[in-house]
Structures are given as C-alpha cells and as structure tokens.
Amino acid sequence: MPIEDVEFARIDHHRALRQGFPEVIFGQGKTPEQVVAIAERIIGRGDTLLATRLSPEAREALSRSVGSVDGLEWCTFGRTAYRAAPGSPVRDTRGPVLIVTAGTADLPVAEEAALSARAFGNPVEQLRDVGVAGLHRLLASRDVLLDAAVVIVVAGMEGALPSVVGGLIAAPVIAVPTSIGYGASAGGFAALLGMLGSCAPGLTVVNIDNGFGAAAAASRINLLPLA
C-alpha cells in the first residue's frame, strides 16, 4: 500500500513517485520511539531515508535501531540522518547547488540544507564564513558563485548577505534567515524581514532556520524531470 498506517503517523511511500522526493522525517516534536518506528518502516520498504531536526536522544535511538544499515550517514552538526534507497538512479541536474554561509554560528542550518540537497540528488558545494562583515571573503570566491546552478544563502544578524549575492549572480538565490544574533535580531525576525525586503530582484526567502525547505526549493529548480 502507498500509505502505511501506524498509531501516530501515516507514512507516504509513494511521495517520491509523485513529487520526485521521498517523505522526510521531521524529528522535532517526535519521541525517539516514533522516529525509530517511522525510519524502520521506510528502510524496510527500501525507500530513501532522510530525517531532520533529530534530538540527541532520537539520534541515539536511531543509531541503535538502524545504525548498522549500509550507507547510513549522520550529520551531528546539522541534526540529520540520510540513507539513499538501494539502486537509486543518479539524477540529472542543471549544476551544483551552492550553500553559502555568513558565519560559523549559521553552520547547523547550512549543514541541514547541504545534506538535504544531496539526499534529493543534487551535487552540493559549500562556501563558509563569507558574511558582509568581511565582504572581501565573498568577492574572492566569485568564480564559485558563478559556477552554481542554484545558491542557498544562510545568514543571521541583519540578514544582508543574500542581497549581496543576489546582486552578483544570475542564478536563483534562496535565502535562509537564521535565529543567530543579538537581542534586536529577535530570534531571526530581523534577518527574515531584511531578506523579504531585499532590493535584489527575484530573491526567494524561506522560514527561519529552514535549511531543509531551502534545499527542497533548490531541488525543484535544479533537478530535471525523471524520465
């Protein structure tokens, strides 16, 4: 059956057939037991496993349950786990997805975006710690920016970096505000509003700390339709 009912969830095993991406486990708010139960069923069906926002307790429980499965990858910093479905085809893309990070404190969100984008079938590159406080760092890597098919820019504080990147390149730019910053940043709202009010035409903005959502949006742009 395409939908598998368990006590607390309805697992959609055909989502990849409809949308090109599998159902993803959002770990936040779930108990470790719930995360494990869903993951075991996904792996048991031979589907791709991607789990985000894993608590340390959920990660430990998942490791005990499926940690020995071949090909399972962990990103502790990004709180994610990933395992490609056996025999997954290589997807055709327009080019690499580039993850640009303003500062080191933004890396957990950037790592969630990076692993999610790779799980969806994109080649991924990263450019770290190139925020506007030292703009020369970004300008020194302009060739990397120009080679990207889609760019995800992750930034907190005032959220200015996506506007700068959007003014330098023609590729689509997806902005991710993070909750990093001093008091007036209001948990990422200052960055969010700055990105929404950007003067860079065509800038796309996702929710605060939503690296996964940015990766999904980038993949819809970057991945060519399945044959």
DSSP string, 51-82: EES--HHHHHHHHHHHTTSTT-EEETTTTEEE
Q: Is residue 55 part of a domain?
A: yes
Per-residue pLDDT, averaged over 176-198, amounts to 94
Query: Which of 58, 83, 108 marks a domain boundary?
Result: 83
Find out whether 189 and 208 touch, Cβ atoms under 8 Å.
Answer: yes
Question: Over the stretch 122-175, which tens digit does the pLDDT of each residue have?
Answer: 999 999 999 888 888 988 888 999 999 999 999 999 999 999 999 999 999 999
What is the domain-level CATH number for residue 104?
3.40.50.1970
Domains in the chain, number: 2
Q: Is residue 91 part of a domain?
A: no
47, two tokens: 């589907």
Instruction: Judge if 21 and 108 occupy the same domain.
Output: no
Q: Is residue 66 part of a domain?
A: yes
Predicted TM-score (pTM) above 0.85:
yes
Could you tell me how far CA 57 lies from the centroid of its own chain? 21
Instruction: Judge if 8 and 120 occupy the same domain.
Output: no
Q: Is residue 89 part of a domain?
A: no
Show the domain range for 27: 3-83
Question: Over the stretch 35-81, which tens digit does the pLDDT of each residue have?
Answer: 988 888 888 877 888 999 999 998 888 888 876 666 778 888 889 88
Instruction: Judge if 118 and 22 occupy the same domain.
Output: no
